[in-house]
């Protein structure tokens, strides 16, 4: 269900998503229209700002109870600045003609009787003993139920298939990862490498000149820094579980959850008694079902330190410096029967040797694919004697990212 974007009447924040019921900046809430049914001509779903039935013209009955429609969501365009206490201003009942009147008027709009004699309000009226208003749309409800069932089946089918395939793959991966394979055709090898560094010159700038740098030039530029902090306050929308321990941290008011009004659920809306409903609490969810308890939402004042910046003119230094960085490598390779050695080389004027390393490898075929596995010097010595190569192919991270290991009995 799409709703037009709106502008917050309190702080002026524009282009708020139409399905949000409170301003994300100041927390201003939107109210939602309720509806009533005409007892005379049985017209259903009349919006609460209509005092008379648009079909037969009869005023709404004194015992009418407003309700929310499942098939229609309409927000009140302008919400009064007193919306937080609307529940204390319900309609009043005229003692002479028994009609409901808005709290803002002191004279009955139907018979001109004074309000002073009225002792009954909207919330004192007992709801008529009949089926809930939502059930007066049997065709819509049946269609909705069928649609929901079909949608659930359509959504569940690929999920069941996905998890079924995932379960089969998980079992297959576990079995495959534990399987020990044997190959007789393999090629051990070694590789010796000398890593050489090169001294290079770089340029940089900073507000201080390093001791080993060579100055190129200076310039007077703007330098921005935190001068001090000032304490600010803001009203934040929180709930009883707004701490680090609830549902993975972050609480309910994380910008798009159930604090937006219960997700169009009636459990999250309060009947103000004048035809409007306002969000004030949300249902607790346990495994996707509503629990009997409710989490009360409220505003709290939050204090925080905001940095205040200052800018001054300051000398900036542009300089160059020398640093050793990775340069070239000198590599030698060999197979069993030759002892590892390092190729000879000559260092340049701005070069130095950093380190020397020797690594041992074994090459073989796995499912017709070449594999190069790094091994220890001890394993290299053993395999150089002609032993069978026993290994495992671990596919726990997926078949497209296999990890190879020598079998445990080979170290």
φ/ψ region of 234 (left if φ > 0, alpha if ψ in -120 to 50, else beta) reads beta
| Per-residue model confidence (pLDDT) at position 208 | 95
| Per-residue model confidence (pLDDT) at position 264 | 39
Nearest one of 251, 285, 262 to 22, comparing CA atoms:
262
**196-208 CB burial, b ≥16 within 10 A, e <16:** bbeeeeeeeeeee
| Per-residue model confidence (pLDDT) at position 6 | 76
**Domain coordinates in residue numbering, the chain:** 1-136, 138-177
Rounded to an integer, what distance in angstroms lies between the CA atom of residue 261 and that of residue 278?
A: 8
Which regions of the chain are under pLDDT 50?
80-85, 87, 130-145, 240-267, 281-296, 410-411
Q: Could you tell me the pTM of the whole model?
A: 0.45
| Per-residue model confidence (pLDDT) at position 63 | 79
Rounded to an integer, what distance in angstroms lies between the CA atom of residue 341 and that of residue 6?
A: 75
């Amino acid at each position: 269900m799409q709703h037009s974007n709106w502008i917050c009447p309190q702080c002026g924040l524009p282009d708020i998503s139409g399905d949000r019921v409170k301003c994300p900046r100041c927390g201003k809430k939107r109210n939602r229209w309720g509806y009533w049914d005409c007892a005379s001509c049985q017209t259903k779903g009349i919006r609460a700002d209509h005092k008379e039935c648009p079909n037969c013209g009869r005023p709404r009955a004194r015992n009418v109870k407003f309700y929310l429609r499942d098939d229609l969501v309409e927000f009140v365009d302008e919400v009064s600045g007193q919306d937080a206490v609307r529940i204390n201003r319900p309609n009043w009942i005229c003692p002479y003609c028994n009609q409901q009147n808005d709290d803002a008027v002191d004279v009955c709009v139907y018979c001109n009787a004074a309000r002073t004699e009225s002792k009954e309000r909207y919330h004192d009226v007992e709801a008529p003993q009949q089926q809930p208003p939502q059930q007066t749309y049997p065709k819509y409800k049946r269609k909705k139920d069928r649609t929901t069932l079909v949608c659930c089946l359509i959504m569940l089918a690929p999920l069941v298939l996905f998890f079924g395939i995932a379960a089969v793959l998980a079992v297959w991966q576990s079995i495959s990862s534990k399987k020990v394979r044997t190959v007789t055709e393999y090629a051990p090898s070694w590789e010796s490498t000398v890593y050489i560094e090169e001294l290079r010159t770089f340029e940089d700038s900073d507000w201080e000149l390093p001791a080993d740098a060579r100055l190129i030039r200076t310039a007077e530029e703007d330098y921005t820094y935190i001068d001090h902090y000032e304490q600010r306050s803001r009203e934040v929308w929180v709930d009883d579980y707004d701490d680090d321990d609830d549902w993975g941290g972050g609480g309910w008011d994380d910008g798009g959850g159930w604090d937006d009004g219960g997700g169009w659920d009636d459990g999250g809306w309060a009947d103000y008694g004048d035809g409007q409903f306002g969000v004030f609490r949300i249902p607790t969810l346990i495994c996707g079902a509503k629990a009997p308890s409710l989490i009360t939402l409220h505003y709290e004042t939050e204090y925080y330190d905001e940095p205040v910046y200052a800018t001054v003119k300051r000398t900036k230094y542009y300089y160059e410096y020398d640093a050793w960085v990775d340069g070239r490598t000198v590599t030698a390779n060999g197979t069993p029967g030759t002892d590892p050695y390092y190729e000879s080389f000559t260092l340049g004027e701005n070069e130095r040797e950093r380190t020397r390393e020797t690594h041992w490898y074994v090459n073989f075929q796995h499912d017709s694919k070449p594999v190069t596995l790094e091994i220890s010097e001890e394993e290299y010595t053993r395999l150089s004697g002609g032993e069978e190569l026993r290994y495992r192919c671990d596919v726990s991270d997926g078949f497209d990212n296999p990890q190879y290991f020598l079998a445990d009995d080979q170290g």
